[in-house]
Chains A and B, each alone.
Chain A
Amino acid sequence: MKQWLRYAGQTLAYVAFVALLGFFATAPAYDPIDPDAAMLKLSFMHVGQRKVECRKMSPDEIARLPPNMRLTLDCPRERLPVLVELELDGKLLSRRELVASGLSHDRASSIYQKFVVPPGRHQVTARLRDSARTDGFDYTRSTEVELRPRQNFVVDFHAESGGFSFH
C-alpha cells in the first residue's frame, strides 16, 4: 500500500476513535427524571420505642447479678417497628411498617423512598407511629407546597427536633 494511503488510513482510524470518545463521553444527555416533573423523597432513620418497657429489678435480682453488671433497670433491647404514611393531596403515596435493623432489632428503622410527582401546588402530609399504640400516630405534619419542575422536596424526621421536617 502506498505510504500516503497508509497515513490517511491511520488518520481516519484515529479520527474515528477520538470522535467515538468525544461524543459518548458526554452525549447523548441523560434525564434521570422528566425535566417537567418534581421529586418527592421520604427518608429518615428513627429508633422506635422499646417493645417491652424497662422494668425496675428487685434487690434480690440485682444481688444475683455479677458485681460489675448490676443495674437497677432491666431493659430488653428489641424496638417496635415504625409505621410511616405519606400522603400527597389526600392520596396515600406510601404506607410502610419499618422493622428495626440489627440482629436483635434494637437499632434504627430507616426508609428511603422517592416519588416523581407533577409540579404545582400540593398538600403533603406525613404521619409516623413509633409506639405500641394500635391506632393513630405519634407524629403528624402537613404542609402546602408549590413544587417547581425538578425540585427535590425532602420529608425527613428527627424526633429530637419535634418530628417531621420538610426541605
Chain B
Amino acid sequence: MLKQIRQAGPWLLARIEKLFSAAFTPAWNPLYHLGALTVFFFWVVVVSGVYVFLFFETSVTHAYESVEWLTHTQWYLGGVMRSLHRYASDAAVVTIGVHMAKEFIMGRYRGARWFSWFTGVPLLWLVFPLGITGYWLVWDQLAQYVAIASSELLDVLPIFSDPMARNFLTNESVSDRFFTLMAFLHLIGLPVFLLFAIWLHLLRISRPTVNPPLGLVVGSLSALTVLSLLRPALSQAPADFSQAPSGIGFDWFYLLAYPLLDYGSPALVWLVLVGSSTLLCLLPWLPPRRRAAAVVSLPNCNGCGRCVADCPYNAVSLAPRTDGLAYAEEAVVDAELCTACGICAGACPTSTPLRRRSELVPGIDLPGVPMRALRDWTLAAAVQPGGEPGARVLVYGCASGVNLAALRNSSVAVVELQCIAQLPPAFIDFVISRRHADGVFLLGCRANDCHFRLGVQWMDERLDGKRDPYLRARVPRERVATYWGGQVTQAEIATEINAFRARLRALGPYRPVPVTQATYEVAP
C-alpha cells in the first residue's frame, strides 16, 4: 500500500509536468524552474518593496495614510508596485510549496541532498515572518489582527517577561517604537537573513539555476502586473483597538496557521509549526537508507578531472596524488555529498567495455552498480533469443523513470542505470560495433528535470560531441535514439521504440564504417 502511494506521486506528477511541457515546452516548463521562479519573485518583492518604502511613513499615526495615498492617488505606479509586492510574495509561497512537494515526491531529499532539503526549512521560518511583518506595517484591520495574534503567539514562549500583547490593548498603548521594530525586521533584518539562507540552501549544488528562462520571467511578471491592475491590493479599515477586527480579508498563503490560534491555542500552533518543521528536518534520515557513494580506484585514475566537471553536487574534487604514480592529482569523493548517481563513472575515460586485456575497473565507480556489472547486464541482455534481425534494440534507461522491465520483449532488451549519464558513450559504440543490438535507445528523465539535475544535459552533450567523453564518430547516429520523457506511460515509450525499430529496419543490417573513413571528433 505504502509502495503504491509512493509510486502514485511520481506518476501523477509526471502527467502534470507533461501537460505543462506541452504548453510551455520542456525548456520553459515552470515546474522545472520552481526554485529559480521563487528567487525571481523574491527580486520582484525587493524592487517593488523599495519603491513602496520611498513613500511609506514608519509611524503608527501616518503609516496607514501613506499606504492609502500610494494606493489610490498614485495607483498607476505606486498602487501597482504595492500589488506586485503582495502578489509576488504570495506567488513565492506557492512556488516554494510546489517545489517542496515535488522534491519530496521525487525523493530528492535523501543522501547527500539532505543539506539542501534541511537548509530549506529555516528558509520557511524566514519567508513567513517576512510576509507577516509586511501585513503588520499597513496598520489596517488585518495588521491589527496580525499584531495581536502574533504577540499572543510569542507570549507563550518563555522569552518575554512582559506580555507583548499588552502593546496592543488600546489605541493609546500602541507605540511607534514597536512599529519601528517591525519595520526594521521587515525592511532589513529578515531580508538580509533570507538572502544568506538562500545562499546556504544552494551552497552544495554545482551550477545552481537561480534565474528562470526569459519566457517565464516575462510571462509571470506580465501575469502579476495584469492581476495588480485588475485586482489591486487594498488596505482594509484602519486599525482600531477599541473594536475586535471582523470579516478580515485574509491572506491565506501567509496566515494559514493563525486560525489555529483562535480555535485552538498558541501552544497548539507552536506544536504544529515546530513539529512539522522537525519532521521535515528529519525526513532525509528516515528509511530507506541511502546508496553507497562513488569510490575512486587510484591505479585507474589519472586525475583528468572529467568526473569533477560532471558531478552535479560538487562531491568529487581533485587533490594532490597520494600513491606515487606519475600524475599530479587524483579524484577524491566526499561521501557526504555523493548522491550515487554514477555520472562520474559515466564521465571517466577508463569506463570502456571495449577493453579486452584488463578487467573493467574505471578510475571512479559506483559500488552498488559498477561498470563491470553494467557490461555484464549489457551482454546478458543482448543474447535474448528470437529477436527480429535488423530491429533489435537495447534500451538504457534511468531508474527514476518508468518501469523498464515492462518494455522487454524478444527484440527489446533493457539495462537499468542510476542516471542516463552513468552510461559512458563507449557502451553505445560497444553495443553497435559488436552487433549486440541494431540500435541503442536511451531513456531518461524529462529535459530540464533530470532526477540528478544534469544527467540528461551531459548525455546530450556527449552524443553531440560537445562534452568529454564523446560518442565516437564511427557510431552511426541514426542507430542511436534518445527519449527524455521521464515518467511517461509505457504505451508512449513503446510507440517511440517501435518507431525507432521501424527506422532500423529501413536502415538494414549494420555495416561498420571502414577505419580509413572513420573520423574522430575533437572538442569544438
Contact = CB atoms under 8 A, between A and B. Distances in A.
B251 A110 contact: no
29 contacts: A10-B23, A10-B24, A13-B20, A14-B222, A15-B223, A17-B94, A18-B227, A21-B91, A21-B253, A25-B251, A26-B250, A27-B250, A28-B250, A29-B250, A30-B247, A30-B250, A32-B145, A33-B244, A33-B262, A43-B169, A102-B161, A108-B161, A108-B162, A110-B163, A112-B165, A151-B244, A152-B243, A154-B170, A167-B169
B446 to A, nearest CB: 15
Contacts of A10: 23-24, 219
Interface string B61-90: 000000000000000000000000011001
Contacts of B251: 24-26
Given A21-B224, A25-B86, 4 more contacts: A18-B223, A29-B248, A32-B259, A152-B244
B162 A110 contact: yes
Interface in B348-369: none
B141 to A, nearest CB: 10
Interface residues of A, number: 44
Contacts of A14: 219-220, 222-223
Given A26-B251, A28-B250, A167-B170, A21 B90 contact: yes
A93 to B, nearest CB: 17
Contacts of B57: none
Given A18-B224, A29-B248, A151 B219 contact: no
A13 B253 contact: no
Contacts of A111: 163
Contacts of B87: 18, 21-22, 25
Interface in B331-358: none
Interface in A75-117: 101-102, 107-108, 110-112
Given A13-B23, A24-B90, A112 B166 contact: yes
A13 B30 contact: yes
B226 A112 contact: no
Contacts of A17: 91, 94, 220, 223
Given A20-B94, A31-B246, A112-B163, A41 B22 contact: no
Contacts of B20: 13
Interface in B449-472: none
Contact of B24 (A13, A26, A107): A13
Interface in A1-59: 1, 6, 8-10, 12-15, 17-18, 20-22, 24-33, 35, 38-39, 41, 43-45
B245 interface: yes
Given A17-B91, A45-B163, A101-B161, A30 B259 contact: yes
B106 interface: no
B375 to A, nearest CB: 40
A58 B170 CA distance: 49
A31 B22 contact: no
Contact of B169 (A20, A29, A156): A156
Contacts of A12: 23
A22 B166 contact: no
B147 to A, nearest CB: 12
Given A10-B23, A13-B24, A29 B247 contact: yes
Contacts of A150: 243-244, 246
A25 B233 contact: yes
B351 to A, nearest CB: 38
Of the four ranges (under 10, 10 to 19, 20 to 34, 35 or more), the interface on chain B belongs to: 35 or more
B241 interface: yes
B496 interface: no
B231 A22 contact: yes
A15 to B, nearest CB: 8
Mostly, the A contact residues are mixed
B242 interface: yes
A10 B22 CA distance: 9
Minimum-distance CB pairs A-B, first 9: A9-B23, A26-B249, A30-B250, A18-B227, A14-B223, A112-B163, A35-B246, A39-B244, A24-B252
Interface in B147-179: 149, 152, 155, 161-163, 165-166, 169-170
B90 A29 contact: no
A6 B28 CA distance: 12
Nearest to A28: B250
Nearest to B158: A101
B249 A27 contact: yes
B166 A45 contact: yes
A22 B227 contact: yes
Interface string B229-243: 011010000000111
Nearest to B252: A24
B247 A35 contact: yes
Interface in B376-422: none
Contacts of B242: 151-152, 167
B90 A25 contact: yes
Contact of B94 (A21, A26, A108): A21
Nearest to B165: A112
A28 to B, nearest CB: 7
Contact of B161 (A9, A29, A32, A107): A107
B24 A33 contact: no
A33 B230 CA distance: 31
Contacts of B220: 14, 17
A112 B145 CA distance: 16
A10 B213 CA distance: 14
Contacts of A27: 249-250
A14 B225 CA distance: 12
B169 A31 contact: no
Contacts of B233: 25
Contacts of B250: 26-30
A21 to B, nearest CB: 5
Interface string B84-114: 0011001100100000000000000000000
A151 B243 contact: yes
Contacts of B170: 152, 154, 156, 167
Nearest to B226: A18
B240 to A, nearest CB: 9
A160 to B, nearest CB: 16
A41 B224 CA distance: 41
